Each structure stands twice: as C-alpha cells, then as structure tokens.
Structure 1
Amino acid sequence: MNQRARLRALASALTRKSTPALLVTHLPDVRYLTGFTGSNAALVVLAGSRVSARLFTDGRYTAQAKQEVSSATVRIAPRSALAEACAYAAQHATVCGFDRTQTTVATLATMRTAARKAGADGNFFKPFDGAVVALRVVKDEEEAAIMRRAAAMTGDLYEGLLSWIEAGMRERDVAAELEHRARLAGAEGMSFETIVAAGERSSHPHARATDATLQPGDLVTLDFGIVLDGYCSDMTRTFALGFGGGTIPPRLRARWAEQREVFEAVLAAQTAAVRAVRRGVTCGEVDEAARSVLTELGWAKYFTHSTGHGVGLEIHEGPRVAKAQSQRLESGMVITIEPGVYLPGRFGVRIEDTVRVTDDGAEVLTPVHKGWLEL
C-alpha cells in the first residue's frame, strides 16, 4: 500500500483548507494512512508539500509499529499516546483539525487538556470532518485486488455451505459452521456478526442467529462477510428449503407461491440497481432504481432500509446509497446493492452484491448464483 502518497494527499488537503495539522484517532483511518494495525494509536499529520507525520502508540506495539509503519515517524509514548500526540501538535501548529464524527466529548476534553499543557489556547482544535474518509472512499487497484479476493472467498464459502445445510439445523449452528470454515480458509475474522434468519425471522432485516431451526418451506436469509488483509466483504443470499423432493403440503402452497413472488420482485429490484451503477450517477438514483421496481410490483412499502453502503476497511463506510442522496459515484468506489422486502411476522427476502464502480457500469465482486434456489 502506498501510504506515503495517501499522507501526501492529506497534507495537501490540509494546506488547501488552511489547517496546519490534523489529529487522526480513528483506527481504520490510521491504518489507511500508515499501515499500523494496533489497538492504540494517534497520528499527527502536518500540512505542506512534504510528508510530515508522526504516529504515537504504546510499548505493546514497539516491534509491530517498526514492522508495519514506514510512512510516518513512530513515537512510543511512555504514558498516554493521545496526550503526547496532542502536545506534539501544539508544538508544531497553531491550529489542529480533528474529526468530530469519530471523537467523543470525553476524548475531546482530554485532547484540549493535553494541548493546553503544551501551550495551546482553548481554540486550538477545530472541526475538520471526513478528510481521511474522502480519500478512503475511492479504492486504488491494490485495495480492489484485496477486495476481489475477499469477495471470492465469501462466494466459495457460501456455495460450499449449501451442500451442508439441511432442515432441522439451528440458525446458530449454520452461523458457527460458516465462521469456522472462514477461519480455516484464511479469513482474519468476520466483517460483522453473521446473520442467519429462517422462516418468520427472515422478516427481521438484521436478525441474529438463534436456536430457531430451519424448517421445510422456510426462506432462509444468509448475510455475512469476511475480513482479508484488513478489508471487508459483504454478501446476502436468500434461498428456500424444499420438501425433500416431495410435493408442497396444501397448507403451505399459498405461502410458497407468495415467497417466490416476493423473491422475484427483490431480484428484479436488485438487478435494476446494479445496472444503474456507473461513474457520475448519484447514490439517490441507484436507490431509486431499486425502489421504483418494488413500487411497480406493489412491495415498496416493505422495503424499509437504504439500498446500500460503501465497504472497505470498515463494513459500513461512505458513500451511502439511499433515497435523495446527491453524492455522485466515482470510479473505484466499492458499494453494496441490497434491497429487501420484509413482511412482518411472515418472511423476508434480501439479495446483496458488492460492486465496484467503473466508468461505464459496475464490476460485481460477488458473482455468486442469486436466483431462486431450493435446497
């Protein structure tokens, strides 16, 4: 990863905004700029045409920081890494930006106290939100390559699990098996808590896996992702549990037909939204592409969340693909497309792909079968 180029771009942005320094404390931002993966870090970046950045951490990471960080000078703080970073900023700048979206009130008070002890006044810290996020939102080729690998592993895990799943299993057993296989395949961990939701519970968009069992006739929603080299994947598929080759029981025929109807509607909406993705299109237009299909088919009122979100070092990052969002897509952005329909107390369907924005369309990173499937 070319962290030095990223720091140079950030320093240039600070110069344009007449901000002499920036304090970075959000760990995914720190990792993006320096490669450091420890759990305690504060980074000070000074404005200017040359890279001038200092990373503060504690003694647990002496060897690790030396191995991982080459774009910034490393300082092992004997006490508080954050306090030392603030003091350093106060000694080298008259004003220092910080990201309010990643800073608690208590942390800001600590920052101000440390800067004041180093001679700064009460106005030393000023809001400078989203500076690193603006860089992170477009993935370079190296990032894209990692995310393709992560997505490919995700697809392989899903397809491998299908031959193992059967009626009578608990949701939590399916989640545990998937996560075990992910670790064995080389994943660092899961992007988020794996969602396995069967039957009525599939009507809960973010249902946790429980002791509920998978039953013939159920729709099952499986939403998961893995972390590979720090980058997240994200994919959702909904499939049906059949009846072992037998006929559909009369009492389930109407529900089975409705489940299929809703599934095809969501698939059409998801396909339309993927087709809408390209450089220059607004996030709101992509959302509307999905929503308009569901409106036409009569299911839009049951689509209760946004169409998608950015993915990268974090499972949820910019941009937000939602109604009326005016941000335009740029080539290299990686986003999810995940419309869903949820009928309370009955069942739900969600289908999700992760895609990379290109000049003339979308590169689908999760090209796994997503049509109607009966196990």
Structure 2
Amino acid sequence: MTDREAWQQDVVARVRKLQKALQEQEIEGALLVQSADIFYYTGTFQNGHLYLPVEGEPIYLVRRSVERARATTLCGRVVKLQSFRQIPALLQEHGFKLPRTLGLELDILPVSYFLQYQKLFPHTQFRDVSPIIRRQRAVKSAYELELLRESGRRLDQMLAAVPGLVELGETEVALAGRLEGEARRLGHQGLVRFRGFNPDFFMGHFLTGPSAAEPSYFDGPVSGPGLDPSFAFGPSWRRLAENEPIYVDYAFAWRGYVTDATRVYVVGRLKPELERAHQVALEIQQALLEEIRPGKSPASLYELACRMSEKAGLKEYFQGWQQPVRFIGHGVGLELNDLPVLAPGVEEPLEAGMVIAIEPKFVFPGEGAVGIENTVVVTPSGARRLTNYPDAVQILSGRN
C-alpha cells in the first residue's frame, strides 16, 4: 500500500466515524469551514465548505482553488462554488435533501457565516458539532501517530541546533530567526494551527532572562514581550547575556501535525534557585509520565503536579508568575491546543492514542523561566515520549 492509499483509507475511516456520531446525535449533516477540520476529513484544504451527510459521500464546495482541491482531496466530490447563495441548490443538485438538523463548528464559526446559513436554511435547526469533532480528533490513528513521531524527531533536531546558533550579545529576535530558519530547512510547514478567536501565535519562543517572565495575553506559562505592542508575544530586541536562562519553546509542524517541546540553555551557569526549580520540573514530569495511562483523570494529573510544586516550596512560580495558567498539559495534533487538557475539573478519562504535551514550568520575575515540555502518546501500557532531546539544562559556550 502506498502512502497516499494508507492516508486515503485513514481519511475515509474518519468520515465514517463522524457520520456514526452524527447519526447517534440525530444530526442529518455537518457543514464545516475550519481549516484543520476540513483537512482532517478530506486530506487537503482549500477555501470552501465541506458538507458531510449522515450517510453517503461528502461534497466539498470549493471557491478556490477547485483544481488543487480535485487533485488532492482523498474523500468526497469536489464541486465549484461561486457564492454562499449556491450552497442549498448545489446540495440538492447532487442528491442531498436539505437537512432538518445541521451541525456547525460553533466554537469558531464567524457570526457573519452563521447569519448567512440562517438565511440559506430557514427551516433547519443548527447544532454544535465542534465537541464531537474535537473528541474524535483527540484520539489519533496509527497513521497520524507515525506523522507525529516524525514531527517529534524533527523537533529534536531543531532543539539540537540551538547550541550552534547562540551568540552572546545577539538579540532574541535574531537568534529566533536563526532557529526558525533551521526549522524550515528541516521541513517545518511554517503554520502552527491554534483553535480559537484571536489566537495570534507564531512558531514559538526564544527568550532570554527576564523576557520569559514578561506577562502578556497568551494562555500559556510564558508569553514573551514581542517586538512591540502590536504583537506582544515571543522574542524581543533584548540581547543575550551570560548566566541567564535561554528559554526555547517551539512547536514543529510536519505535514499538518504538531509536536511541542521546551528546553533551557545557558551560557555560563544558572543561579542555584533556577537550577533547583528546573530539577523539580523534571521530577514533576517523571511523576506524570509514570501516571499517564488510559482511564486516568486529567484533573488528577494536574493536582499531582500542583502538590509536587507546593511541596518543593515553588507554588507561587508554578505555571506562570501572578497569572498562572491552570493546566499542566494540552493535546496536540492538527492544532497546538487539541484535546485533552490536563486541568482541574476535566474528568473525562485519557484514552490510548491521545497525544499530549506535558509542561511543568516555573517563572521567576526579573529572572526568567525554567522547566520542561515534551510530547507524549498515551499507549495501553502508559506514556511514550515523541520528543527525546536531553531534558537537562544545556551549558553552552556562546560564541562571539
């Protein structure tokens, strides 16, 4: 079987699984527009609307590029769409009855689209299918897991390139540019998908010293100052100095699939309290790796990490300074914020095939951030790492 044949088989199975879920929920069809969801159910993405009936073959109504969509779609018919107004007529023209209940991605769908759909389907009841889709996507197939393994291998290579790129006195943004160039050479697709409204996100963080403790909008332990207030995220114009943490947190996107990892480097030596905090983060990571398995409650894993940080006397620095995030891990896959989330109140148990980035971190005001992040897959026997670059703080020479 060729790679394309295996991929097509996987995509068709995803469509059939969604159709079964729609049938169970008494939803007659789903109309999808979000890029990750369309890619998941077709194997491609172009500008259009994907209609998945509860039974039968999907139809992909494409505005542009129809030719590209026809060449790359792995499941369903591709039909040219010129305007929103054509959607009902095209569905009927290709043998579909207009659905009485229609699923939409209501977590991300623009209001302007929703209002259009209301006009086009005046007798239709709309239902939110985003939870169904996100739960399905949380459990990866064997084909997806192999793509994620390759993504993790390439992320390891990216992290291994950091020592040769670091230069004392250089700006964070210049150092980030060197590393991001290496990522592109390794096959990083550039885009890291992040679900939500205003999720403004770039490839990751290359932060030095107190930059990693700078508060901002991003829902993560570390945000970074950015270059200016228009995008207060990631590296700044600050220059690297000796004996301060170099915080490197990047996602690697390979053929659509994302892995995520963080490492800490230093030119010289970290302060003892930062070294100790990093060691505690490694201990928390190890405890989580030993506990992750099918059936485990995500909330219990978060609580375990919190207890360990408190026992170490580091609670006030754990997962962010003053505004800590309330999670210790997040799903990854087609999006950087896939399900599940290892957070309080999340009791739906882990399943084999879920892929999670676990990230115990400590942020010290005026000093920076330390900690670890690795992507793991939940297997029937426990957690297996997909990112394997050494976890210890890396001591660098800092060429001049």
TM value normalised by structure 1: 0.89
Task: State whether structure 2 residue 80 is matched by structure 1 residue 54.
Answer: no
The equivalent of 1:113 in structure 2 is 119
1:94-128 CA-to-partner distances (Å, cap 9, x unmatched) read 22121211212222101111223xxxx2x432333
Instruction: Give the match's secondary structure for 2:236.
Output: coil
* Aligned-partner Cα distance in 2 for 1:32–1:261: 42
Alignment of 1:139-288 (within 5 A): 139-189=140-190, 191=192, 192-204=202-214, 205-207=222-224, 208-242=234-268, 256-288=271-303
- The amino acid of 2:381's aligned partner reads D
Q: Which 10-residue stretch deviates more, 86-95 or 182-191? A: 86-95
Task: State whether structure 2 residue 86 is matched by structure 1 residue 79.
Answer: no
Are the counterparts in 2 of residues 198 and 219 from structure 1 also a CA contact under 8 Å?
yes
Quote the sequence identity (%).
25
Q: Which 10-residue stretch deviates more, 330-339 or 201-210? A: 201-210
Task: Give the CA RMSD over aligned residues.
Answer: 1.8
Report which structure shows greater RCO (CA 8 Å, sep ≥6).
Answer: 2
Are the counterparts in 2 of residues 43 and 85 from structure 1 also a CA contact under 8 Å?
no
Q: Call closer, same or farther: CA 1:85–1:30 in 2, change over 3 Å.
A: farther
Are the counterparts in 2 of residues 334 and 357 from structure 1 also a CA contact under 8 Å?
yes
Q: CA deviation at 1:370?
A: 0.8
Aligned residues: 353
* Aligned-partner Cα distance in 1 for 2:281–2:74: 47
Instruction: Give the match's secondary structure for 2:363.
Output: strand
1:237-258 CA-to-partner distances (Å, cap 9, x unmatched) read 1122206xxxxxxxxxxx7111
1:108-150 CA-to-partner distances (Å, cap 9, x unmatched) read 101111223xxxx2x4323333222121111111111111111
Instruction: Give the match's secondary structure for 1:293.
Output: helix
1:148-169 CA-to-partner distances (Å, cap 9, x unmatched) read 1111111111112213313212
The equivalent of 2:33 in structure 1 is 25
Q: CA deviation at 1:86?
A: 4.9
The equivalent of 2:312 in structure 1 is 297
Task: State whether structure 2 residue 109 is matched by structure 1 residue 94.
Answer: no
Q: Which 10-residue stretch deviates more, 284-293 or 175-184? A: 284-293
Task: State whether structure 2 residue 91 is matched by structure 1 residue 70.
Answer: no
* Aligned-partner Cα distance in 2 for 1:222–1:371: 13
Candidates 80, 103, 117, aligned match of 2:109: 103
Q: CA deviation at 1:353?
A: 0.1
The equivalent of 1:326 in structure 2 is 347
* Aligned-partner Cα distance in 1 for 2:76–2:86: 15
* Aligned-partner Cα distance in 2 for 1:33–1:294: 41
- The amino acid of 1:18's aligned partner reads E
Task: State whether structure 2 residue 329 is matched by structure 1 residue 308.
Answer: yes
* Aligned-partner Cα distance in 1 for 2:263–2:305: 17
Task: State whether structure 2 residue 60 is matched by structure 1 residue 45.
Answer: no
Q: CA deviation at 1:190?
A: 5.2
Instruction: Give the match's secondary structure for 1:270.
Output: helix
TM value normalised by structure 2: 0.84
Instruction: Give the match's secondary structure for 1:362.
Output: strand
Q: CA deviation at 1:352?
A: 0.2
* Aligned-partner Cα distance in 2 for 1:172–1:349: 19
Are the counterparts in 2 of residues 190 and 225 from structure 1 also a CA contact under 8 Å?
no
Are the counterparts in 1 of residues 161 and 179 from structure 2 also a CA contact under 8 Å?
no
Q: Call closer, same or farther: CA 1:84–1:334 in 2, change over 3 Å.
A: farther
The equivalent of 1:358 in structure 2 is 379
The equivalent of 2:3 in structure 1 is none
- Structure 1 unaligned runs (5+)? 244-254
1:10-53 CA-to-partner distances (Å, cap 9, x unmatched) read 11111111111111121111110011222x121111113xx321
Q: Call closer, same or farther: CA 1:129–1:314 in 2, change over 3 Å.
A: closer
Instruction: Give the match's secondary structure for 2:121.
Output: helix
- The amino acid of 2:57's aligned partner reads S
* Aligned-partner Cα distance in 2 for 1:289–1:360: 20
